[in-house]
Amino acid sequence: MKVLANDGISKSGIKALEAGGFEVITTTVAQEQLINYINQNQVTVLLVRSATTVRKDLIDACPSLKIIGRGGVGMDNIDVDYAKAKGLHVINTPAASSQSVAELVFAHLFSGVRFLHDANRSMPLDGDSKFGALKKAYAKGVELRGKTLGIVGFGRIGQEVAKIGLGVGMKVVATDNFIDSATISVDIFDGQSIKVEIKAIDFDELLAQSDFITVHVPAQKDYLIGKAELAKMKNGVAIINAARGGVIDEVALIDALEAGTVAFAGLDTFENEPKPAVKVLMNPSVSLTPHIGAATNEAQDRIGTELASQIISILK
């Protein structure tokens, strides 16, 4: 049986699948050529990340498919319900990348509070001639310790973010439509840990309380955070989005950044991927990454082996 990992898979995942008797194809096939390729090669399992979409037309046109797998959490690029109704198995790896995404959130937070994202642009250009001026410009950083971190979406990733926030010494508040509370275990060292219960609060209450807000929700039909929500936040708040593009109204966000009501933003996902808006890319108060939340070696190893395990369990 053949597995097409169209958006790639880790070496550990390939080894596990080959050991299970599968042939693994890592050729990246263009979206418009995917149906023909699957049919010509009688592919049984299609694995994707975020680049490839699996819609009704592909599902209908590819009778050899038995499994569609998503390396990661979000499944919005797959017509999941339709695939299941047609008898296909749809799998993903919801826990594999949680820690990687959470660490990226704090990479953006630490970058923002100490202006690293802007300093790393300015120092190569003016560090030798305007060192004193740059030192003065970046001399008003703040500490994360003691500040309030608001987590919107308190699932696996949100809870991993909470662990780091608590470890840093932040007050953590969270809101979620489905989770009322969660007990967060913060590992310290030598097998020791502390447990903290966090009860979910109202969304508007979180907006009003938080010094920093990070969003961890699935793709939305409408903006979760727009002009009205930004108006409810503290003056000088910072916002991180490592979830999905379209969760935050980028036009409203840029307006708030230019007005100074939002101090900075960290964006890993964008409304118009893979061509983010130029005003977002050029704003000096935005820390930018190109949708790499799950892109660590450790996460990709976990994703690959978890997908392999599920595939072998289903088909073998």
**Would you please indicate which residues are annotated as catalytic (active-site) residues?**
244, 273, 291
Give CB contacts under 8 A, 24+ apart, made by 156-160. Answer: 156/73, 156/94, 156/95, 156/98, 157/73, 157/97, 157/98, 157/101, 157/102, 157/216, 157/243, 158/214, 158/216, 159/98, 159/184, 160/98, 160/99, 160/101, 160/102
Q: Rounded to 5 degrees, what angle do the CA atoms 271, 274, 280 make? A: 50
Q: Which residues contact 290 (CB under 8 A, 6 or more apart)?
A: 268, 274
One-letter amino acid at 12 equals S
Q: Rounded to 5 degrees, what angle do the CA atoms 76, 78, 83 make? A: 135
Residues in the chain: 316
Q: Of 48, 90, 94, 92, which Cα lies nearest the Cα of 66? A: 90
Cα-Cα-Cα-Cα dihedral sign, residues 83, 84, 88, 94: positive
